[in-house]
Chains A and B, each alone.
Chain A
Amino acid sequence: MAELIDLVLLGMLAITALRIIFLKDLFAVVMLFGIYSFLSALIFVNLDAVDVAFTEAAVGAGIATVLMLGTLALTGRKEKANSHTALLPLLVVIVTGAALIYGTLDMPPFGDPENPANQHVAPRYIEESPQEVGLPNMVTSVLASYRAFDTLGETAVVFAAAIGVLSLLGLPKQSQATIESGLKSHLVLRVVAKLIIPLILVFALYVQFHGDYGPGGGFQAGVIAAAAIILYALVFGLPLATQVIQPKLLKILASMGVLIYAATGVAGLFFGGNFLDYNVLASDPVAGQHIGIIVIEFGIGVTVFAAILSIFYGFASQAERANIQ
């Protein structure tokens, strides 16, 4: 059954991808990309990767699509006809694809529990992490403890992206509420948004602290919290949003999150362990793991929230600027 669903979803992905190639209307291209992203999130659920599905839906279908639409608002929605020939790209793609198909021929069969990938390193995560780290969600254990250095790097990548967008687009200046923006005339939308935003924020907190037991964690929580403010900015206008969360504060928050994470790692050094060793943080190793994971997940949440929101501010301030002109 799972295989059948998988096949159907993959088929839909293939159709979506093909459609994107030939469409010239960029707005439709971006919307189709959002669909592509949602479909892959479904595939991830079907393949038991619930954490990944959560992230893909929030990031790929959510944030990435919003940013793409924001860009289109500034650059125009029509793609001009391609003047150069598409023969060379086609050739490159066919050769690369053929190489990949050749590579699949010695791959282990799909779904087989005896595959090398499921045999060597992974069994320890499945069998021992609930005792060693003390969390039921193995993905969180691996993410935040066994491979915590990857995740520190990931937080740094988000921080780097915020630096990049900040340097390119800058941040909006505070409180220029003189400009008419937002959707002032849509009363229903305003009321619903006011109702829904607190709920989204509470949900973000839930996702933040429930990541140890179910799907979720700092990253998803940060994205959801940022989405709440983004919704606020879309409905009530950027100037009001920048009064709620000031752009200057975001810079500090984005830095603080990375520092919280790294400081947890450094704390391990002072207690006689290696960098990012949580066992030494408390007298009982499992309690130490728990402290460590909660603190670093908080750090991730803070950086991701601040980074995503400042990236959105960057794009939105450009849009306002374009509107004034």
Chain B
Amino acid sequence: MFAQHFPVLPIVLPLIGAPVCMLLARSQLAWLFATLISGFSFFISIVLLLTTLDQGVLSYALGGWEPPWGIEMRVDVANALVLSVVTGLSTLVLVYAKQSIDKEIDRNQHTLFYTAHLLCLAGLSGILSTGDAFNLFVFLEISSLATYTLVSLASDRRALTAAFRYLVMGTIGATFILIGVGMMYMKTGTLNMLDLAARIAEYDSNRTLNTGLAFILIGVSIKLALFPLHMWLPPAYTHAPSAVSAFLAGTATKVAVYVMVRFIFTIYGAEYVFHEMGMDVILLVLAIVAIFNCSFVATVQSNVKTMLAYSSVAQIGYMILGISLVTSAGLMAGLLHIFNHALMKGALFMAVGAVLFRTGSADIKAYYGLGKRMPLTMAAFTIAGLSIIGVPLTAGFVSKWYLVTAALEQQHWLIAFLILTGSLLAIVYIGRVLEVAYFKEPADPTDTTIKEAPVLMLIPMWILVLANIYFGIDTSLSVSAADAASKWLFQPAADLGAVR
């Protein structure tokens, strides 16, 4: 009976769940409830992914008003894939969060944490599924406001300034997007993405539409922390509670990457953006600078969380690089990396959070000799770290492989070389941590309080680690989904409406 409503449920469930969570008031109950809601959304997302792989696109008219008059949810392979990543990671993080936030967040704020988490999830799902340009802005703001709250819940005072900086940058980004959407509306009279695509295609080149696109791309670039607009991200991820960093690193910026893909490919059309406006060159250069600059900055950080945050900005560079190759193969590699990066960064931030849980510090000094004291956590860190580097048999290898192949397909030898060199820097920053963990003696060998992390933190962490290995060996599921998604996005924008 409810199958036809599935496109809207991953948004509505957490949106209803958030106020219920607030009413529950007890920390344990709110945790259980939020986890269940998130898990159920994950289940629905997987069903959606399988359905769209099979049938193509699903359209859902809110309020029964047919688009473009009403708002439409439009789920296709591409956003169903990202949606599964977001809801899946959210569920794992919530399982993990129970003990993690016990330590990091004041006890009477636990319900607020779960409420904000669900709101953030609802916002992210909404951004992904919506087929309406203004609706996207609304959900963007729900997720952003919830995120500012989540970051500021940490007890460190630097979390406050990080959250404020994030708020200012995020609002500037959202306002830029608002300006862009207004310019699009001005020339087309519609807000529905499909309708926009059809009407924008009627213009050859238009100064208002070009400017609108530029503002949307800049606004989204702030949200996805594209170099050089990334300066809000490292402090926010460093000082946020560990569970929040794990969730945001794997989802928030990735959702923004998807929004960029959506505006470029399904609204304006790759032809227009890349050939008329020459955006591919700009994105390519920024992506490569991001990879090198931020990987290099990551190698000199003493705070492991900051290091991972800079690594995230560098990894976003790889995704943008894939998109800017302007081939189906490149886009597919970029989408695949969204999926794989969520697996590895989720696991890494969880491991760092576990260390913080036991030692109370995220500084690299706390990692001395941890290989023996927290063997399971450090093993998880090691495997996920190898995945970031791109060692064979891990998920990270698969996306790098496809990225390099996509570059070589276009005879871009230099780009392929740069991708591989970027991995060398990853060896350095991951290697530093592994070195002190396995080859250095602990600062205080008599300290017996530092032991393995609790089971409830280890289980979600290891699920992600095993997923890293599984998707590194058996690539059929992730690759076929990403491949179908990129083929779907790469058809001419005007054809996207053919399947209704």
Interface of A toward B, CB cutoff 8 Å: 99-100, 102-108, 115-122, 124-125, 145-150, 152-154, 156-157, 159-161, 163-164, 166-168, 251-252, 254-256, 258-259, 262-263, 265-266, 268-269, 273-280
Interface bits B1-35 vs A (CB < 8 Å: 1, else 0) = 01001001000100110111011000000000000
Return chain B residues, CB-CB under 8 Å to A161. 145
**Residue of A with least CB distance to B209:** A106
Q: How far is the CB of B167 from chain A (nearest CB, A)?
A: 10
Chain B 185-204 per-residue mask, 1 if CB under 8 angstroms from chain A, else 0: 11111110001000100000
Closest residue to A99 on the B side, CB-wise?
B211
Chain B 60-104, CB-CB to A under 8 Å as 1, else 0, gives 111111001111000000000000000000000000000000000
Tell me whether A164 and B116 are in contact (CB under 8 A): yes
The 8 closest A-B pairs by CB, nearest first: A103-B211, A120-B189, A255-B19, A277-B64, A153-B138, A164-B149, A106-B207, A116-B189
- Quick one: which of A160, A167, A259 contacts B16, CB cutoff 8 A? A259
CB pair A259–B186 under 8 Å, yes or no, is no
Contact A149 B145 (CB under 8 A): no
Contacts of B142 in A (CB 8 A): 153, 156-157, 160
Check if B186 sits within 8 Å of A147, measured CB to CB.
no
Cα(A115)–Cα(B63), bound, Å: 28
A103 and B212 form a contact (CB under 8 A): yes
Does any Cβ of A come within 8 Å of B148's Cβ? Answer: yes
Give the distance in Å from the alpha carbon of A137 to the alpha carbon of B66 in the complex: 21
Give Cα A99–Cα B213 distance, bound, in whole angstroms.
11
CA distance A289 to B119 in the complex (A): 28
Q: How near does chain B come to A230, taking the closest CB pair, in angstroms?
A: 22
Taken together as a complex, chains A and B put the C-alpha atoms of A119 and B68 apart, in Å, by 13
For the complex formed, measure the closest distance between the CB of A288 and the CB atoms of chain B, giving whole angstroms.
10
Is A163's CB under 8 angstroms from B149's CB? yes
- In the complex the two chains form, is B211's CB within 8 Å of A100's CB? yes
Residue pair A276, B190 in contact (C-beta under 8 Å): no
Whether B446 sits at the interface, judged by CB under 8 Å, is no
Q: Report the separation of the CA atoms of residues A157 and B146 in the bound assembly, to the nearest whole angstrom.
A: 9
Chain A residues with CB under 8 A of B115: 163
Q: Is the CB of A120 within 8 A of B188?
A: yes
Q: Is B232 an interface residue (CB 8 A)?
A: no
A–B complex contacts, Cβ < 8 Å, 26 sampled: A99-B215, A100-B211, A102-B211, A104-B208, A107-B187, A107-B208, A108-B187, A116-B186, A117-B186, A117-B188, A121-B190, A121-B191, A146-B70, A156-B122, A156-B123, A157-B142, A160-B116, A161-B145, A163-B112, A163-B116, A167-B112, A255-B22, A255-B23, A274-B63, A276-B63, A279-B64
Pairwise interchain contact A118-B189, C-beta atoms closer than 8 A: yes
Q: Is there an interface contact between B126 and A153, defined as CB atoms closer than 8 Å?
A: yes
Classify chain B's interface size.
Answer: 35 or more
In whole angstroms, what is the CA distance A258 to B22 when docked?
A: 11
A40 CB, nearest partner CB in chain B, Å: 15
A274 engages B206 (CB within 8 Å) = no
Residues of B within 8 A of A167 (CB): 109, 112-113, 116, 149, 152-153
**Within residues 127 to 163 of chain B, which ones have a CB less than 8 A from any CB in chain A?**
134-135, 138-139, 141-142, 145-146, 148-149, 152-153
- How far apart are the CA atoms of A236 and B22 in the complex, in Å? 30
Q: How far apart sit A39 and B70, CA to CA, in the bound complex (Å)?
A: 32
Is B361 an interface position by the 8 A CB rule?
no
Taking CB atoms, residues of chain B closer than 8 Å to A104 are 208
Question: Are A99 and B214 in contact (CB-based, < 8 A)?
Answer: yes
Q: Taking the nearest CB of chain B, how far is it from the CB of A93, in angstroms?
A: 12
**CA of A247 to CA of B263, assembled, Å:** 43
Answer whether A147 and B71 are a contact pair too, CB < 8 Å, given A255-B19, A258-B19, A269-B2. Answer: yes
- Looking at the complex, which one of B60, B146, B152, B183 makes contact with A103 (CB distance below 8 Å)? B183
Instruction: Determine whether B210 belongs to the interface, using a CB cutoff of 8 Å to chain A.
Output: yes
Instruction: Report how far A150 CA is from B69 CA in the complex, Å.
Output: 13
B112 and A274 contacting across the interface, CB-CB below 8 Å: no
Asked if B18 contacts A157 (CB within 8 A), the reply is no
Contact call A156/B208, Cβ cutoff below 8 A: no
Which residues in B have their C-beta under 8 angstroms from that of A164? 116, 145-146, 148-149, 152
- Specify which chain A residues have a CB less than 8 angstroms from the CB of B19 in the assembled complex: 159, 254-256, 258-259
Q: B25 to nearest A CB, angstroms?
A: 8
Once the chains bind, are B139 and A274 in contact (CB under 8 Å)? Answer: no
Residues of A within 8 A of B5 (CB): 269, 274-275
Which residue on chain B has the smallest CB distance to residue A251? B22
Report the Cα distance A102→B138, complex, angstroms.
27
Bound Cα distance from A145 to B69, whole angstroms: 10
**Once the chains bind, are B153 and A145 in contact (CB under 8 Å)?**
no
Residue contact B63 to A275, C-beta cutoff 8 Å = yes
Whether A149 pairs with B119 at a CB distance below 8 angstroms is no
Q: How far is the CA of A171 from the CA of B116 in the complex (A)?
A: 17
Q: Give Cα A273–Cα B210 distance, bound, in whole angstroms.
A: 39
A49 CB, nearest partner CB in chain B, Å: 14
- CA–CA, A149 and B145, complex, Å: 18
On whether the beta carbons of A116 and B188 are closer than 8 Å, the reply is yes
Which A residue sits closest to B186, measured CB to CB? A117
7 other A-B residue contacts (CB within 8 Å) besides A108-B186, A164-B145, A273-B64: A102-B207, A106-B207, A118-B189, A148-B63, A152-B15, A163-B116, A280-B64
Q: How far is the CA of A254 from the CA of B126 in the complex (A)?
A: 21
